Structure 1
């Protein structure tokens, strides 16, 4: 393990720390996705407007819910030994029972919560995406299920469930080889191609962390040995930290995985269940006031929190079913 870390630190040292020319566009991209959480999903959920006008971008029907209270017994946030935690996560993941690969015509159902940073508003969202990514489904405001075709978006970095599955099964189960594979994958280097966001070089360790956590949070059918390798590879990335007592939008307390870097504006957690190490949601905490576009008032104040929660994830045979 020590030799692995030494080699990776030397590899990272050859790459300069990210400057503001990289940090600022990435922050803008993140904030844009916070303000419009349905943007990426909306490309999949093209719903016909009530007036029969041109097809409009829309997310799954959002149903306001009262914020779930944090459990009274939730432990305080505390830093843990990331190496020990991730090693244990790998052991647990490796003992899971493998799932069969879904058929292209099956559907991936998810129910999520989103708690906004400034208003504290909590919304629930249900969505169905066909496994091959060709169709999406959601309830409209009248409670009617609407199924829509999904046009391709060549500039997007998001993938269909089937494409995620295919990329996963190409990955090696050796942690060092897996780390090298995800870092060099041109898909995650070249995309997304977004208007107004300049291209910039992302440090290799940052990309490795980002892609591994993305795979772990896609709630797909990951082979157990590969999931175990994901956690072991994550332990090789410098700067990865784990804290306990980090809550998602549903108030569930879990293990918050984050990565130290040069951005001191906010800390972004991926939250894992304390026992199963399954993905629960995300939590972004502002470490100082965030001013955008020269505004005199901060868009987000120090201590503001935006969080999400994955409440349900299942493979079903048709839209409308919840597993």
Structure 2
């Protein structure tokens, strides 16, 4: 176990965390990024990225995150492969955090960039068959289902993107949605409907995941939301894509949150109610949730953190001069 000191402790990675690190490192704050359970954030499970400024051609999400991490390290960021399990923010700076490794991190400022995590259905068989045919990440696991039947559960952007991606590996992709129309962007819906490899089951919910004789996923038990009729769908893989929830469990009772669990910040800024503690990216943004907005917020958090530290230094110098 070790203790790590920094002027700016960044909890979580992804576009917000890496951008905060780049700006903080260039300001000579010697930032530490504690990467968390999913280094790189949600973009590591996103394939084609065509709306991030600066790239004429489509780029891959994992590659983009690797480049951001490398840039942050190049300018002086320390990357820690650890996950924060507890924080002490209430007593003011310096702030303390404990990692799963047992290491202690002490920061004069903190930027929270823990992002969001995939939501699960919470039905029988889902967790038991995790890694045995049930997944929440097509980019991570789609390769294992080459030439097999797969299903995607959901009706928003995430679900449609997952279904489209899976056609790279499978000629038999079924999208299962509990309503009779999608909630995704129209351009994505058009691509989905035009793809001959994808079929859609409307007004269906997944009641449970059932294993086959080999112990892996064999079929889904479905229920019609209008008639109540039960049915089954044989499939080798099922990808749950019903959205994400902000990863804020660590900060409950320590920082104000809205009804959805997103961290509250001062409007137009990444400032939380605790001076020196900032939040950026999907952990506080339930409206836009884009890589570019997360990166912008990470930049803002680093700049505000730098100004916070400079103001403290000025105040200390003024106090010393007055003695």
TM-score, normalised by the number of residues in structure 2: 0.22
- Higher relative CO (Cα under 8 Å, sequence separation at least 6) belongs to 1
TM-score, normalised by the number of residues in structure 1: 0.22
